[in-house]
Amino acid sequence: SFLHWTYDPSTNVVDLAFRRSTPSSQWVTWALNPSGQRMAGSKCHVAFRNSTGAIRAYTSPIGSGTPTLQEGSLSFRVTNITATLVGNEWTIFARLHLYSDLHPITGDNARSVGTIDFRTGQIASNAGDFDSRQRKRNFHQFLSILMPMGAMMARYLKVFRFGNPAWFYLHVACQVSAYIIGVAGWATGIDLSSGISSLNRDYIHRNIGIALFFLATVQVFALLLRPKPDHKYRLYWNIYHWAVGYAIIVTSVFNVLKGLSLLDPEIQWWHAYIVTAISSGIISAALEAITWTIVVKRKKASEEKQNQRTNGVNEANGHAARTVRLEPEV
């Protein structure tokens, strides 16, 4: 047997030709089974010579019972199916449309749901169910705001003298609150994904969400292992805490934007998140410049004060050296 084909990946269409020499047979069939390597579930292309000698080709699905090769439609569309018999060689030609085109799964396509009672003719929209699901989507998108706020407090508020030690408690409060609400958001995301078919489910968004949940759990519980400021391992803990924290923030921003494109929330949520993200970036840049200016000024003032102390000590030592005289022994 020989199989020849041309595949167009942009349309998922296959043009094929199946050839086989059968000296004594009056029919031939070739089958494709998308569900496994067995006869049950096969999608057959059949060619035979009828009593008039004409060659005919058609499709036939095989169920779980004894195959009868009765004509029928397949799970995918087949067009241009023909067959030839030249000498002893059969050839089946066919065009296979392996996947149907899907309509969009957002906007009105997700809202066109209702209930009909055939006895009374009453039709009711399931707007309540849709609104409930929409509220879950909106809540799921809200959850990435608190954690960046907590990081900003830890980085910028502690530079100001009035912010100590309030920045630490505010930082902990924001991060723990973000984690608690994030658990609810994670559960909401799981619930939302359960209503989406596996064909349309976005596994990248889901897997990133699971990874973020794990990292946030490690980050929050790392507070219990926080060394004292003068501990020899405090530097390494600070590096770890900083790296994981900013990795969570950057990854969560990407995943929220990806989630927005998937869940198609109300347009104001798009605007709210984008404005919040841009505003946070602008505020962070401004605070970065202000706090660096304060740190540099304090460092210069500290260095000048240290120099004055050093000069004062040197002058005092020099004056003592000038006033002390050693009289020669008589």
Residue 271 labeled ligand binder = no
Percent of the chain whose pLDDT exceeds 90: 15
- Determine contact, residues 269/256, Cβ cutoff 8 Å: no
Residue with tokens 């059969």: 90
Q: What are phi and psi of 201, to 5 degrees?
A: -75, 140
pLDDT at 143: 54
| 327 band by pLDDT with thresholds 50, 70 and 90 | low
Residue 205 labeled ligand binder = yes
The residue type of 54 is A
pLDDT tens digits, one per residue of 82-96: 999 998 999 999 999
Q: Which one, of 67, 75, 46, lies nearest residue 58 by Cα?
A: 46
Query: Highest mean pLDDT: which of 50-64, 126-140, 224-238?
Result: 50-64
State the Cα–Cα distance between residues 69 and 27, nearest whole angstrom: 11
| 106 band by pLDDT with thresholds 50, 70 and 90 | low
pLDDT at 199: 43
Report which DSSP code applies to 264: -
SS (H, E, C) 11-23: CCEEEEEEEEECC
pLDDT at 253: 79
- Determine contact, residues 252/215, Cβ cutoff 8 Å: no
- C-alpha distances (whole Å) from 77 to each of 7, 73, 82, 101 are 15, 8, 15, 11
Estimate to the nearest angstrom the gap between the alpha carbon of 79 and the chain centroid. Answer: 38
Comparing 120 with 234, the larger pLDDT belongs to: 234
**Terminal Cα distance for the chain, rounded:** 129
Task: Name the 3-class secondary structure at 123.
Answer: strand
Domains of the chain and any CATH numbers: 2-125 (no CATH), 131-306 (1.20.120)
The residue type of 73 is S
Comparing 45 with 224, the larger pLDDT belongs to: 45
- C-alpha distances (whole Å) from 62 to each of 12, 50, 68, 304, 305 are 23, 21, 8, 91, 92
Q: What is the mean pLDDT of residues 19-44?
A: 87
- Determine contact, residues 237/226, Cβ cutoff 8 Å: yes
Report the relative pairing of strands 89-97 and 27-32 from DSSP bridges: unpaired
Comparing 111 with 127, the larger pLDDT belongs to: 111
